[in-house]
Structure 1
Amino acid sequence: MAIRKQAVSGDLAQGKKLPPTRVFATELGVSRSTIVTAYEQLVAEGYLQSIPGSGYTVCPIGSVELNVSDHPALSKQPAETIASPKPFQAGQPDMRLFPHLQWAKTISRVCRTNPQSMLIGNTVQGSFALRTAVANHVSDWRGIAASPDQIFITAGSGDALELCIRTLSQPDDTIGLEDPGYLPLQSFVSVLGLNPAYLSIDKNGASLSSANKNCQLMVLTPSHQYPLGGAMSPSRRLEFIQWAETHNGWIIEDDYDSEFRYAGRPIPAMAGFDNLSRTIYIGSFSKIFSNSLRLGYVILPSPLVGAFKETLNRFGVRASYMPQQALAEFIETGEFYRHLRRMRRVYGERRNFLLDRLSLSFSDHGSFEDHQAGMQIAFHLKKTGNDVEVSNRANAEGLTTQPLSKFGSGNSALNGLLLGFCGFTEAELEEGLQTLERVLKRGC
């Protein structure tokens, strides 16, 4: 435990008096008997001594015959640092800017006042407090009117997508997928034995055709298409909603990074446009808050709530209860929105830097469209460069790039690189761009 380590290392000085058991128990949010047991164990091991009427103090280090170097578990460990990601990993938030102190204070407050909420849940839908916070958030930011009863907390957006597909499809069903689109989704559809019907992308977003109107389910990214960018036009959204109503189908709206729009407010969600009639909405905290929490949510039309509960009862809940109450309080106190505003400003500056450099130095190698949103840019290479070869060479030079052609079904003529910018400082972006420019000049 921490007291043992600090006594051995000298961080707790000889004779240092420890907090009274009752006070310490209150601070940690545990029972007094737990603290008494821990203190007495340390007395038995020779780290502490108990003086009647005076409490517990740290023993002289000489009374503990222990060579710390022989016990790695008790040795001082170097402080963990947040490794710098490699440009240009897409969808990577900058965790170096995470509000660690504010988050720690929130966790501490929940531990003191409501510790059971971090471990005990009585519903497969997740924390009611967090579902309420999500309902308020999507009402303000995405134009969706939903009650907490329509919301399920998930282990990220990937878990939400899996939950939706398991609940709403059967083997051999046909499911509409954007082409190009999200690679893990394509793999999961294949594993479940579903038949993908690919939806081509144009300037108005995903498009319907006679060949894919027999789908039972469509998965769309209407607010910011992945990976190309761009928003679906209102007329195209209406066309999909009319398809769902006519064919008794469902639309899954994957709204993975819509909060990051750098001109005006985020575009209203399709689920709000549809009033949650035939559209299921998926959101995530991985991009806007922390990719390590693995928390997301799905918002359902009311008639589907029972079926989704049955799926979770059958396959199990993956979302951890541990951080949910704390995240709810983080949102309610406004700390979440302060962090979000800061990230939009910082990411916007990094985006501008990347676009300026691409315009200035990379016009001979390719082009891009500025959609004023998202966490990555699709850089389309000229035909003289093959994106898989370019990506492999760039990654061998220490970068992290993805070829756009890998996101397609094989029927499209994609040739480019997906360049993320949010997780990197301007200096890191500049270094990465210099490396990428050398790679392109050698190969194009």
Structure 2
Amino acid sequence: MSNTIKKRQSNFDAALFRLVLDRTSSHSLQAQLINALRDLLVEEQQSSGIRLPSSRLLSQELSVSRTTVVGAYDQLISEGYLRTKTGGGTFAADQLPHLAPPRVTVTQRLKPPQEWRPFQSGIPDQSLFPHRHWARHIERAWATPDRELLAKPDPFGWYPLRQAISTHLSTWRKLECRPEQVLITSGAFEAFDLIFRGLQGPNSHAATEDPGWYTLRSVLGSVGTKTQPIRIDAEGFDAGKIAGSASVAVVTPSRHYPTGISMPMSRRSSLLAWAEEKNALIVEDDYDSEFRYQGHPLPSLAGLDGLKRSIYLGSFSKLLSPALRLGYLVLPEKLLSKTEEYICQFGTRASLIPQPALATFMESGEFAVHLRRMRRTYAKRQRHLKSELADSADLLDLTSDPSGMHLCATLLPKLRGHVTDETIANVAKGEGLQLRALSSHCVLPAPPQGLLLGYAAFNEEALSSAAMKLNQILTQLSQR
């Protein structure tokens, strides 16, 4: 043995026998020994060929049982740090693996999760979600899973859930469709990506609403779709303003987002006539129409069309919880094969885990009970918010909205002449309020001025406190 090897062996032995195991630690002696030996082997720059003492000798030196040392050696052999020679002892491996976990130094505590702040819109009250019932459906689905759950998944999603959605749409939205036309998605992002990347392809042109869902522009831009924003009026989207190059119209006819305007039958007929004349496609984003407080929900545009030239888009994020990450598309028959071809090639992002639970939750009737309960709750909260903002009645137009989860309050002349909605939103943010300016949803010039006031996720006490702050902010700004 060369002098260099002898020196490395001597240094390693000295470090090894200086080890001290803490018998008061919550970690076992064997776990401590494994970590200590691993660290020594990694720290030793040229540990290949170094021989470790016998398990009997090391157990005596460390005053532990031989079983503890043997177990530590076996673990490090399995990890690739040590090797054995028959009748020759235990040695450091020729090439050490990089399996040692990094040592993390915590310099500061992690920030606590941020809670939703009034008047964040589009968020349901998740404290009223029926967690106990939901847990029962999850347990029932996965305690003894159906054989089909463990087989190759259907690219369109769990079939019983698609059946439940089909039944729900027939009852609530007057939309007749077969379960085979329903595609489960992870939400609106995936839905629009699939439509415009998979079905429309690059360089397509889409007519969109202005103001509208501000994220839609980013989604369509990311897939190369050109958009033609069309300023809505008192009756919503006007198909007569669509330019000749557009082959798709993305609309929210039941309750325009974010103003809350419902598209009248004349405008719906005009849009359907445009789609037929141009051989175009209509994408109906029906994001929260189940929450209608007066009368029955309006019939869907896709239902009027008979799903000939319309794609219907729905989500459970606002109906149940955004954490669920489940939505769906209802497709015309003529697009099913192309859609399946695209999904089989690129896959789907919708998790299968919650789908069987959601299916039985809907089939049991608990889903409909939950919707009716939330509809009553949200209607009450809207009335409460309006009453608490009565002091600002000369500053904001607080017309009641017969549906939805937020109020779109336009700025009245007394306020609009002094300040913009963006300024109000920024000042309110400094006071702990989260509201969006209506103009931030626009791309066309001369945007309308208003505030989006979400109320669904907040109880009456929180709404009262937030409304008091907003009243004060508006009064101060109006007096500038």
Say if 1:149 and 1:193 are closer, same or farther in 2 by CA, change over 3 A. Answer: same
Partner of 1:88: 119
**Partner residue of 1:440?**
474
State the distance in 2 between where 1:119 and 1:370 align.
49
Larger Cα Rg: Structure 1 or Structure 2?
A: 2
Contact 2:196/2:225 (CA < 8 Å) preserved in 1? Answer: no
Determine if contact 1:121/1:127 at 8 Å carries over to the other structure: no
Q: What CA distance in whole angstroms lies between the structure 2 residues aligned with 1:121 and 1:288?
A: 29
Task: Find the aligned partners of 1:340 and 1:427 in 2 and give their Cα distance.
Answer: 22
**Distance change (3 Å), C-alpha of 1:390 and 1:117:** farther
User: What does residue 416 of structure 1 align with?
Assistant: 450
User: Match for residue 397 of structure 1?
Assistant: 431
1:193 Cα deviation from its structure 2 partner = 2.4
Counterpart residue number, 1:231: 262
Work out the CA distance in 1 between the residues paired with 2:293 and 2:244: 34
1:103 aligns with 2:134: yes
1:369 equivalent to 2:365? Answer no
CA separation of 1:117 and 1:325: change in aligned 2, threshold 3 A: farther
Q: Distance in 1 between matches of 2:151 and 2:405?
A: 35
The residue number in structure 1 matching 2:317 is 286
Using the TM superposition, give the Cα deviation of residue 196 of structure 1 relative to its aligned residue in structure 2, in angstroms: 1.0
1:260 and 2:294 equivalent? no
Q: Is the 8 A contact 1:157 1:256 kept in 2?
A: no
Question: Measured at CA, do residues 83 and 121 of structure 1 come closer, stay the same or move farther in structure 2, by a change above 3 Å?
Answer: farther
Partner of 1:228, secondary structure, is: coil
Q: Is the 8 A contact 1:120 1:321 kept in 2?
A: no
Paired residue for 1:159?
190
**Aligned pair partner of 2:409 in 367, 379, 387:** 379
Quote how far apart the aligned CAs of 1:357 are: 2.5
- Count residues with an aligned counterpart: 366
Following superposition, the deviation at residue 285 of structure 1 comes to 0.7
Distance 2:385 2:314 in 1: 27
Whether the aligned pair in 1 keeps the contact of 2:230 and 2:241 (CA below 8 Å) is no
Bigger relative contact order, structure 1 or 2 (CA pairs below 8 A, ≥6 apart): 1
2:462 to 404, 423, 428: 428
Which residue of the other structure, out of 234, 240, 250, is the alignment partner of 1:209?
240
Give the drift of 1:410: 3.1
What one-letter code is carried by the residue in structure 1 that aligns with 2:215? P
Q: Contact 1:204–1:231 at 8 Å: present in 2 too?
A: yes
SS in 2 for 1:320: coil
Shift of 1:121: 4.5
Contact 1:125 1:153 in 2 (8 A): yes
AA in 1 matched with 2:345: R
- 2-structure distance, mates of 1:211, 1:424: 39
Could you give the per-residue CA deviations for residues 303-338 of structure 1, whole angstroms, max 9, x where no partner exists? 000111122123320000000001000000111111
Distance 1:192 1:295, change over 3 A: same
Task: Give 1:126's aligned amino acid.
Answer: G
User: How far is 1:120 from its partner?
Assistant: 4.6
Deviates more, 1:346-355 or 1:407-416: 407-416
- Aligned to 2:143, the other structure's residue is in SS state helix
Counterpart-to-counterpart distance in 1, 2:148 and 2:324: 16
CA offset at residue 158 of structure 1?
A: 2.5
Scaled by the length of structure 2, what TM-score is found?
0.73
Matching of residues 15-414 of structure 1 within 5 Å: 84-114=115-145, 120-358=151-389, 360-381=390-411, 382-383=415-416, 384-414=418-448
Deviation at 1:260, TM superposition (A): 0.5
Q: Partner amino acid for 2:395?
A: H
Amino acid at match of 1:112: A
SS at match of 2:384: helix
Partner Cα separation in structure 1 for residue 145 and residue 172 of structure 2: 29
Would you say the 8 A contact 1:91–1:287 is kept in 2?
yes
Q: Is the 8 A contact 1:118 1:323 kept in 2?
A: no
Contact 1:405 1:415 (8 Å CA) reproduced: yes
Q: Tell me: CA distance 1:370–1:117, structure 2 relative to 1, closer, same or farther (3 Å).
A: farther
Aligned residue for 1:206, secondary structure, equals: coil
Q: 1:151 to 1:211 in 2, by over 3 A?
A: closer
